[in-house]
Amino acid sequence: MFRTLPNYPVFFTAQNKLAPFLLGKKMLISSFSYPKPTDPPITRVIISALHTEGDLDFLTHQIHEFTAVI
């Protein structure tokens, strides 16, 4: 479901419905059209050092829930 680049903490997905699904769970990820507003959205999960283990566990659980319904 995700693609990534080595040493780059961003995970890309073609599943653009993930962003509104996670937003409904109070979790905001990056999803926007680029380079033009008419292009399909680029949906990304960006991990930083500010995220806690609990944050990552919650994200993992929500992604598993999402994949169960797609």
Structural element, H or E, at residue 9: strand 8-13
Amino acid at 63: I
Average model confidence (pLDDT) for the chain?
A: 96
Number of domains in the chain: 1
* pLDDT tens per residue, range 6-64: 999 999 999 999 999 999 999 999 999 999 999 999 999 999 999 999 999 999 999 99
Question: For tokens 């990304």, what's the residue?
Answer: 44
Instruction: Find the domain containing 47 and state its range.
Output: 3-69
